[in-house]
Structure 1
């Protein structure tokens, strides 16, 4: 079950900020798949997390429809009102036993066509973090996501922000070599040589995210 905060009234979420090509989607997907108690809902046999890609341009309606599509609901009347779509979202998430809702390319929420649309989308995310069937939202995207505080400070304070730092020459070579050696041993691969660590840092565009499962403080 999601951990509860504020006298048990709401959950907390995670914002992962990384520039394009930084492997943020791979990192989140790997972690979600490796957390054993998120793997399958015993009642449905399906994963207890849901992944969507935020449509661009992002509106409250388009995001809601993207979530419903990921839940297998394809046919929504064009006349459906926004509040009806989001009521359906909440009902479907509850019925599917979803605990974590991951929205990739979430910077498009900040880049919506108007500030009002952005604020409305963020308020709706906040509503998903409240109530008996609250979920843990994960938002991943570029540095535009850091602007969430400017639009809704209350939403911002509910999220842990993760901004991986770039690898640096002269500081990270030894650790990078140790990491490669560790994975080589785990995979029973014998490397005749290791490419120069400075070249490896450059080839990785100064970013290297390993598929290692960290603690999940949002779950209890």
Structure 2
């Protein structure tokens, strides 16, 4: 006999909608009639969300990536661009900027789809099998059976890469390859990727008759992803490391942070100044972000969304920035850089505390070794 709550769920008088019918019905149920003001605020938030600032890291990474793409025309080996940085530092944003290169836009010719770049977020846990399954979905929009063996999965992945003329494989959150993996498992994963970069005529996964065409890699993740790459010296020697480093409190770093915030503020679109580039606010931003401009951008955007929603003329230090910081970190007023009267008395945040920021930004949390926290 069904329990009470089960009886409520399995109601025979309710018509069950097919999945394709359920989505519009649900949207209609929760839809609200938006006023012209609401529509303008929504569009305003979208504009704020697309603000980009070309930092030194972005400019250097784009230039180096463009050189990698040019080298693919001549080299018999590919390269591996590695972006190591802690949570919220801007790794995913940087990868998104690299994907915007015109030569990487997918298209279709008379044979079929041509996909110069394939991008995925590394599954967690990241094994040779789960990585292959994720790549196959990205290449085909189809899922392979998880019961297939690694060899069969990667044979199909490699055939798709060959057929779609893939030149770059980009994997975000690659540090997941460390989580719970044995040394043998990590080596197998890295060796498989190495065979993309340095084609091997005897590679059993290479499609019959396929040209010896290298594929370059772009990998991002937490700083200790270097440990995974050390599993294969041949791949490691083809790596170009482009770490995202924090700004300190030197005069030069404060000047860079000030310029960064100066470039953001006029693009926010508020009628009144928010004072983001004033000296005291710059110091608070440096403390709240541990010097990473990616974190600064995230805090500013979240505060801007709140200000837009409330109809405020500008971003307020207490009502918006302090509120957003409290909501993310839950550390109390004495550790909130936007609430303390004197920013020099605010203690430094530990890197492990920034993991929550990463989770809220929609990326997965990684296991952290005590030495790296």
- TM exceeds 0.5? yes
Match of 2:291 in 1: 206
Which aligned pairs between 1:34-183 and structure 2 lie closer than 5 A? Answer: 35-41=101-107, 43=109, 48-131=116-199, 132-171=212-251, 172-183=253-264
TM-fit CA distance, 1:79: 4.7
- Please state how far the C-alpha of 1:140 moved relative to its aligned partner: 0.7
Count of residue pairs brought into register by the alignment: 209
CA distance in structure 2 between the aligned counterparts of 1:150 and 1:133, rounded to whole angstroms? 24
TM-score (norm 2): 0.50
Separation (CA, whole Å) in 1 of partners of 2:196 and 2:177: 16
Counterpart Cα distance in 2 of 1:100 and 1:149: 17
Residues 176-191 of structure 1 correspond to what in structure 2 (within 5 A)?
176-184=257-265
- Gap change, CA 1:47 and 1:74, over 3 Å in 2: closer
- Counterpart contact for 2:168–2:216, Cα < 8 Å: yes
SS in 1 for 2:140: coil
- Secondary structure of the structure 2 residue equivalent to 1:57: coil
The one-character-per-residue Cα deviations of 1:81-139 (angstroms, maximum 9, x if unpaired) are 32221121111122223222111111122335210010000000001113433221111
- Corresponding residue to 2:273 among 171, 192, 197: 192
Q: How far 1:184 moved relative to its partner?
A: 4.8
Please list every run of 5 or more consecutive structure 2 residues that lacks an aligned counterpart in the other structure.
1-68, 200-211, 298-373
Q: Cα offset for 1:4? A: 4.4
For normalisation by structure 1, the TM-score amounts to 0.81
Corresponding position of 2:26? none
Q: Which blocks of at least 5 consecutive residues in structure 1 are unaligned? A: 212-220
Q: SS at the partner of 1:67?
A: helix
1:31 maps onto 2:98 in alignment: yes
Partners of 1:4 and 1:201 lie apart in 2 by 39
Larger radius of gyration between Structure 1 and Structure 2: 2
